[in-house]
Chains A and B, each alone.
Chain A
Amino acid sequence: MAVANDITALADRLAALQSRDTLRFAMCGSVDDGKSTLLGRLLAEAGMVPEDRLAQMVRDSKTHGTQGGKPDYSLLLDGLEAEREQGITIDVAWRYFGTDKRAFIVADCPGHAQYTRNMASGASSAELGIVLVDARAGVLTQTRRHTAILAMFGVQHVLFAVNKLDLIDYSPARYHAIEQECVKLAHDLGIEHADAIPVSAINADNLVVHSPNTPWYTGKPLLQYLETIKIARAVDAAFAMPVQWVNRPDHTFRGYAGVVAGGRVAPGNEVVVLPSGRLSRVVRVVGGDTDLKNAEAGQAVTLTLTDQIDVARGDVIADPALPPEVASQFACHLLWLDDTALLPGRRYQMKLATCTAGAQVTEIKHRIDPDTQAHLAATRLVANEIAYCNLSLDTDIAYRPYREDRRLGGFILVDRETNATVGCGTLDFGLRRDSNVRWQQLDVDRVARSRIKGQTPRCLWFTGLSGAGKSTIANLVERRLLADGFHTILLDGDNVRHGLNRDLGFTDVDRVENIRRVAEVAKLMMDAGLIVLVSFISPFRAERQLARDLIGEGGFMEVFVDAPLAVCEERDVKGLYAKARAGEIANFTGIGSPYEAPERPEIHLHSDRQSAADAAALVVKLLTE
C-alpha cells in the first residue's frame, strides 16, 4: 500500500514538474550588496544544492571564504579563479533552479557602473528584475542605475530586496522608508509593478519562510514571491512571426519556419508578408511533426501559405489587420557595448529579430545619464553609455516599437570589420513611414483598435456627492494612466452639461437622458479603444444601472468616491451647498434630493480619509491588475 502511495505521489510530482511554468529574472547588485550570498543561501535553504556541492562549499569556506571560516554561501555561485585571469568576472552568469511550481532562469548581473553593458543580456529577457539594496545605505546611485536599465529594457516587474536587515536591527521604520523610496523610484521610471522585501541573506531571513525577526513584514518570503508572481506576457497582441528559415525539402512543400512573436495563427487565417505587403492565407501550421489547430506567441512552428509568393528569412508574416510597421529610419535608445566608440555616420550591421540590414546612426540626439536620467549633449558614445539616437537602415524592415514587442523592437549593431557586437538598442518609432506599402482594408473593430493601443477599454464611472473629490481623483487617475502610456478620455459632468447636454435640465426625465447620452458616448469611445473616465454625481442607482447595462458588465467599473455630506458641505469648492441651503438651487443632491450610495461598487474610495493621490493610485492599481 505504501509503495502504491509512493508511486502515485511520484506520478503527481512528475506531472507537476512537467507542467510547471518559467520565471526569468535578472538579479542586479554588486558583491558588496551580498547578491551571491543571497542567491546561494536561497538555493541552499530551499534544498536545491546537491549535497556534494554543499559539502565542498563548507570545506572551501575554511580556506578562502569571506565569513571567517563559517559557511560562505556565495561560494556556491562564484565562478572560478580563472574568471579573474580571463577578465570575465563581469559577465552575466546564468543560474538555474526550480521548485515543483516553477522553474527559474536567473541572469546574475554584475553591479558596478562600468558594467552597465553586461546587464543588457540579462535584462533583455527578464520578466522580473530583483534589485539588491543594502539596508544600511538605502537607495544609492547604483540602485537608480539598475532600476533605470531594467526600465529601458522593458522589465515591468521589479522587486527590491532590502538586504542586511540584521545590520539595522530589523528596524521596520528604516525598512519602510527604504521601501517607499524604492517603489517611488520604480514608478517614476515607468515600471508598473514594484515591490520590496526585507531580507538578510546571512541569517536566511524571509528567504524561504517568514522570519521571526520581522514580525511586521506581512508579504511573502522571497521564494514564495518568485513562485507566485504573475507576469502578463505578450498582451493579446496581433499575430506576427519573423521568418527564420525557408523549409523547402522538395517541390511538394514550401514552409516558413519561425517562432511566433505575438498573437496566434491558425489555418485559414489571412496574413500579410512584410515588408513587401503581399497578402496570402495560412494553409498549415506545423509544429514538430504534427499539424496544429493553431499556434501562439512563443511557439516554434512552420507555416505554409496558399500562394507561391516570395518569402525570405527576415520577412515578417503578420495579421493584416494590425501588421507591424515598416520603416527604414527610426528614433531609438542605444546602449554602447564596445571599447571602440560609436561614431555617427559609420556603417554597422543591424540585426533585429531574423533580419539583417546595413545601419548607421545619423544623429545622437542626447546621451542619457543612467543615474539621473538627465539629457546630456554628445557627439560620440563610449562603452556603457546610453543615448537617444536616429538610426538609418539601407532597407525597409518590419518592426514594432520595443514597448509593444521586445522581439520585434530590440536590435544589436555589429561592427563589419571586427565582427564584434558593439551596441544594442530599442526602437521607439519609425521616422518616415513608407507610404507605398498598402494593405487591404479590413473591418476594424474595438478589439483591433484597443490592441494597437495595448490596452483593454474600460469605463471608470466616478460617482459621489458634489465636492466628494470625483473630478480631482479622476484627473489624477487620467494623468497617471497617460504617463503609463494608456489612451484615455475624461468626461466630466459639468463640462458635458455645457455642451452635448446643454438642452437638459434637472428633472427626472432629463437626468435619465443625461446619463443615457453620457453612457452612449462612453461606449463609443470604448469602441475606439479608449479607457473612459466618467465623473458624474449620478445620484440614482437606477441611472447607474442603466449605464452599466448599456456599457456591459466587465467593461464598467463603478468608483464610489465616498465622503460624508458634512465634509463635502464644508469643502463646498463651488459654493453650491451654500446656495442650495439658501434655497437658490432646487433638487441639489444631498440637500433637496437624495444620493443613493452604490451597494457594490467595484472600487470604494474614502476621500475624507485618503489623499486624492492615494485614491488615484488605488484606482490605477485595480484597473491595471
Chain B
Amino acid sequence: MKVARLHTHLDRLEAESIRIMRETVAECRKPVLLYSIGKDSSVLLHLLLKAFYPAKPPLPMLHVNTTWKFREMIEFRDRIAREKNVDLIEHINQEGLRQGTDPVNDAARHTYVMKTVALRQALAEHGFDAAIGGARRDEDPARAKERVFSLRGAGQRWEPRKQRPEPWGLYNTRLAPDETLRVFPLSDWTELDVWLYIRREGIEVVPLYFAKERPTFVRNNALLVRDDDRVPLEPGEKLVPKTVRFRTLGCWPLTAAVESDAADLDGIIAEMLDTRQSERAGRIIDLDPSDSMERKKREGYF
C-alpha cells in the first residue's frame, strides 16, 4: 500500500491550527483574537496571517492592558500591529484603574480586576462571540480536558459540564444569546513545539525572552526586573545588574526572571531541553494553591 508523504509534527500542528481559525471565522458572528504579546500570541498572529492570506485577517486583535506590562512589550505590540497591518484594540479597565490596584501587595485582586474583569468588559462591550486565545493544554494539568472550542456561559463563565465533545475536530459553534466561545488553536502544541515553530518560521518575539544584562532585585524569592519606578525598593533590596531572561511575559512585578545566558532561539531551546522546569514555575501568580488556574478559568480569565 502506498503511504502519503509524512508531514512533520510541526506541519500537522500548523495545518490544524489554521483550520481551527478558519472554522471560527466561518461560523462565528464576530470573532476576535486575544493578543497578549507573548510568544504564543506571536505564533497565533503568524498563523492568522497564513490562514487568510492574501486577505487581511477578517478579525481584529484585542489586547487587555493591565498597565503593568513591560514597556518593551507595548512597543513590540504597536510596531507588529502596524507592520502586519492588523487592527488592534486595546482595552484597559478604566474603573479598575480609577480605584487602583496593587500588583505587588495584592496580586490576586490586581489580576482579577485588570485582567479577568477587563477581558469580560471588552468582550461584552464589542459584542464578540468568539475569542481566539493562545492557551495550550500542556501548560497546566487543569487544561488537559479543555476543548478546542470552549463554551462560556453568561458572564463568560466556564461551565465544565456543558462542554461539547469534538470528534474528528468537528466543532459545534451554536450559541444561546448569552453564551460565547473561547477558541484555542494551539491546544495540541507544547512549549517546545512553539519555540521550534518560531525558529522554523523565523517569527519575531519580544526581546525580553532573550538573555541580556538587566537591573534585577529579589522580592518574595522571585528575581524581578525593574521596568519603571512605580515599585519603590524596600530596605535591604537593591538593584543588581544580572544577565537574565523571561520564560513567560506578564505584568512586570508578577513575572520572575531566570538567570540565563540564552541570548538566541537555539540557546532558549537548549535550555528548555536541559532544565526541565515547567514553564509556569517562573510566574508569581501561579504560585498560588494548585487549583488557581482552575478558579481563574471559571471566572473567565482564559
Give me the interface of A with B, judged by CB distance under 8 Å.
10-11, 13-14, 17-22, 47, 49-53, 77-83, 86-88, 91-96, 98, 102-103, 105, 108, 117-118, 120-121, 123-125, 153, 230, 232-236, 244-245, 247-249, 253, 255, 257-259, 286-289, 296-300, 302, 313, 337, 349, 351-352, 354, 406-407, 410-412, 414, 419-421, 424, 455-456, 624
Contacts and interface: CB of A to CB of B under 8 A. Distances in A.
A458 to B, nearest CB: 10
A93 B145 contact: yes
Contacts of B15: 259, 298-300
A10 B9 contact: no
Contacts of A411: 170
Shortest beta-carbon contacts, A-B, top 6: A249-B55, A124-B167, A86-B160, A236-B2, A300-B18, A288-B50
B276 interface: yes
B206 to A, nearest CB: 21
A125 B23 CA distance: 18
B169 to A, nearest CB: 7
A297 B166 CA distance: 21
Contacts of A424: 165, 167-168, 170
Given A80-B294, A302-B53, A354-B26, 5 more contacts: A13-B273, A18-B196, A108-B144, A125-B169, A249-B56
A18 B188 contact: no
B173 to A, nearest CB: 9
A50 B9 contact: no
Interface in B183-207: 187-188, 190, 192-193, 196, 199-200
Given A121-B165, A244-B26, A419 B176 contact: yes
A259 B23 CA distance: 11
A397 to B, nearest CB: 14
A83 B297 CA distance: 13
A414 B172 CA distance: 7
A80 B297 CA distance: 13
A91 B2 CA distance: 36
Interface of B: 1-12, 14-16, 18-19, 22-23, 25-26, 49-56, 137-138, 141-142, 144-145, 160-170, 172, 174-176, 187-188, 190, 192-193, 196, 199-200, 266, 269-270, 273, 275-278, 281, 290-291, 294
24 contacts: A17-B269, A19-B8, A51-B275, A77-B144, A86-B161, A87-B161, A91-B145, A92-B145, A108-B144, A124-B167, A236-B4, A244-B22, A247-B55, A296-B5, A300-B22, A302-B53, A352-B170, A410-B167, A410-B168, A412-B168, A412-B172, A420-B162, A421-B164, A424-B170
A166 B188 CA distance: 35
A407 B9 CA distance: 19
Nearest to A409: B168
A86 to B, nearest CB: 4
A96 B161 contact: no
A259 B1 CA distance: 23
Contacts of A354: 23, 26
A21 B8 contact: yes
Given A14-B199, A20-B9, A288 B269 contact: no
Contact of A94 (B8, B188, B269, B281): B188
Given A51-B276, A94-B188, A245-B26, A18 B200 contact: yes
B1 A624 contact: yes
B5 to A, nearest CB: 6
A289 B51 contact: no
A95 B53 contact: no
Nearest to B279: A50
A298 B7 contact: yes
A257 B22 contact: yes
Contacts of B275: 51
A83 B141 CA distance: 11
Contacts of A233: 3-4, 6
Contacts of A13: 273
A424 B167 CA distance: 7
A98 B174 contact: no
B290 A351 contact: no
B190 A98 contact: yes
Nearest to A410: B168
A94 B277 contact: no
Given A87-B160, A88-B160, A121-B166, A232 B50 contact: no
A50 B10 CA distance: 22
Contacts of B49: 289
Contact of A296 (B4, B55, B172): B4
Nearest to A411: B170
B188 A105 contact: yes
A94 B22 contact: no
Nearest to A234: B4
A589 to B, nearest CB: 35
A14 B193 CA distance: 11
Given A86-B161, A98-B190, A289 B54 contact: yes
B290 A80 contact: yes
A93 B169 CA distance: 15
A94 B276 contact: no
B53 A288 contact: yes
A587 to B, nearest CB: 41
B1 A79 contact: no
Contact of B55 (A50, A234, A248): A248
Contacts of A299: 7, 11, 15
Nearest to B174: A419
Contacts of B3: 230, 232-233, 235-236
A165 B106 CA distance: 52
B170 A412 contact: yes
A94 B145 contact: yes
A351 B149 CA distance: 15
Contacts of B9: 20-22, 98, 102-103
A61 to B, nearest CB: 15
Nearest to B46: A288
Contacts of B4: 233-236, 296-298
A96 B138 contact: yes
Given A14-B269, A18-B8, A98 B192 contact: yes
Contacts of A245: 22, 25-26
